[in-house]
Amino acid sequence: MVDLPDMLSRGERARLFPVLADTSKEGRTLSIFLACLQNVNELGRGLLSGLGVRTGARSRIETFTEVVLRKSNGKDAFRPDGLIVVTNGSNRWTALVEAKVGASDLSTEQVEAYLELAKLNGVDALITLSNQFAPLPSHHPVNVGAVARRRAALFHWSWMYVLTESTLLLSNEDVADRDQRVILQEMTRFLLHPSAGVKGFDQMPAAWSDLVGHVQAGGAISAGSSDAKEVVGAWHQEVSDLCLTLSRQLGTDVDIRIPRAHLADPSQRQKADLAKLAGEARLHATLIVPAAAAPIEVCADLEKRSVTFSMWLRAPDDRKGTKARVTWLLRQIPAVDVDRIYVRMFWPGRTAYTQHSLKALRENPDLAGADRAGRAVLSFEVMLVKDLGAKFGQRKTFIGELESAAPEFYEKVGENLKAWQARAPKLRDEKADPGDVGTEALREEMEMEALAREN
C-alpha cells in the first residue's frame, strides 16, 4: 500500500520502468523522469535548487504519478500528471507536475486551472514540462494572468533543459554513486530516443516568413502586432535552446544575459525586444560562456537577412601603436577559413568605427593603421557574419543556419580569444634611462615577424 500525501486521494509511485500503453507517451516519459529525480541525488537536488527549494543530505524527495487530488475545482478535464514532495525534517514542500511531449504545448487555461487546484489542496507550486523553452525556470513560456500566479509558485522545465542538466552531471562525473550514475545514463539515453517525444526548437512560426517578407518589401514593424509578438516569443525559445545546445557541447552551463528588471518581470524582456525589432528590424541576445574572454552577442538582422555572432575585446594598453594592437589580436585567432570573419575597430572620441575582413588584416596588418593615422585603436569587435539571403525567411532553415553558426564561431574565434589584462608593475632600475623603449619596440617587432611566419 502506497503511503500517499494528505492532498491525494489516489496516486502511484513514479516508476523507472512504467507499465503503460504505447499511446501514453507523456505518462511513460514523465514517470521515468520523476523516478530519476527521486533516486538520483545530484539530479533531484540540482533541479530543485534551481527553483529555490532547499535540499540536503537528509532531504527526502518523493514523486507520484496518476494523481487524483482530494479537492477538485470542478474542472474534471484538468488532472495533473504528477506530484513532487520534498521533506526536510518537519518542513514539506510540494509541487504539482504537468507534462507535455512531442508537438503538444501547454495552454493558458490548463496552467491556470492547475494553479487553482494547487491552492485548493495546499500545494506550494506547479511545475510544467514540455518542449517549449524558457530562459529561467521562474519564467514561463505561457502567458499566465497575475491573479492566477498568486495562487501558487509557477515554474517550467523544458525537456531539453532536463536532458542538458543530466548530460552535464554525467560528463563532469558529478554523480558519486555508481548505480545512480547508471540510472541517469539510461534516462539520458531514453530522452534522446525519438519515442520519448523530446525535441529541440526546430522552426520559427509561420509569422516569421511573413514578417521577413514584409521588411524586405520596405514595410515597418509594429511592436503591437500579433506577428511581432509571435516572432519575439519564438526568438526567446530559440535562444534558450541554443544555450542548452552549447552547454552540452562545451560541458558547462551557457546562460543568457538578462537585465535585472527583466528577471523580475519577463514581460519587460518581451517589450524591450519588441521595441528593438520594431525600431531596428533586429533580434538580439547575449550569451555568457564561463571563462570566455567576453560575452557572445547574437544578432538576426531582418533587413540584411543575416545572422551575426560577435565578441568585443579591449585593445592592450601596453602596445603603443595600432599595428601592434592588431597584431596582438591576430595572433590569438588560428589561421583557419576566415572568409566570413570581420574585425571592427573602435577609435578615440566620436570617430566612427572602421572594419576589415580578418583575411585582409592577416595579409596586411598596416590596413588598420591607415584608417586613423596618428591614433591608436581602443577596442575590437570580432564577428562571424552569415548572409543567408532567401534562406533567412525559411522557418526551419533559419534555425539550422543559426545553430550551425554558433559552434563555428566559438571554435574559430571564441575559444581562442583572451581578454587583455595589465601586467603587475615591476620594480624599476633607477640607473636605467627612463626614455629607453628599446625592449618594447623589440617585442612588437618580434610579434609581427612571428605573425608573418604563421601566414
Q: Is the pLDDT of residue 455 over 60?
A: no
Q: Is the pLDDT of residue 424 over 90?
A: no
d(CA 296, CA 289): 8
What the block records as the C-alpha cell of 121 is: 489542496
DSSP string, 244-283: HHHHHHHTS--EE---HHHHH-HHHHHHHHHHHHHHHSEE
Using one digit for the tens of pLDDT, what is the confidence trace for 298-329? Answer: 999 999 999 999 999 999 999 888 999 999 99
Residues 6+ apart with CB under 8 A from 54: 88
Predicted local confidence at residue 18, as pLDDT = 83
Interval 351-359 mean pLDDT = 91
Residue among 336, 375, 377 nearest 356 (CA) = 377
Q: Is 122 exposed, middle or buried (0-12, 13-18, 19+ CB in 10 A)?
A: middle
Q: Please give the share of the chain, as a percent, with pLDDT higher than 70.
A: 91
Q: Residue 205 in contact with residue 73, Cβ under 8 Å? A: no
Using one digit for the tens of pLDDT, what is the confidence trace for 116-132? Answer: 999 999 999 999 999 99
Q: Is the pLDDT of residue 375 over 90?
A: no
Domain ranges of the chain: 8-196, 206-414
Residue among 77, 75, 110, 76 nearest 96 (CA) = 110
Maximum mean pLDDT: which of 14-18, 242-246, 321-325: 242-246
Interval 429-443 mean pLDDT = 58
Q: Which residues pair with 355 in a beta bridge?
A: 344
Residues 6+ apart with CB under 8 A from 227: 207, 210, 211, 214
The pTM assigned to this predicted structure is 0.86
Q: Is the pLDDT of residue 1 over 50?
A: no
Q: Residue 414 in contact with residue 289, Cβ under 8 Å? A: yes
Predicted local confidence at residue 266, as pLDDT = 86
d(CA 386, CA 370): 27
Q: How confident is the model at residue 441 (pLDDT cuts 50, 70, 90)?
A: low
Q: Is the pLDDT of residue 331 over 90?
A: yes
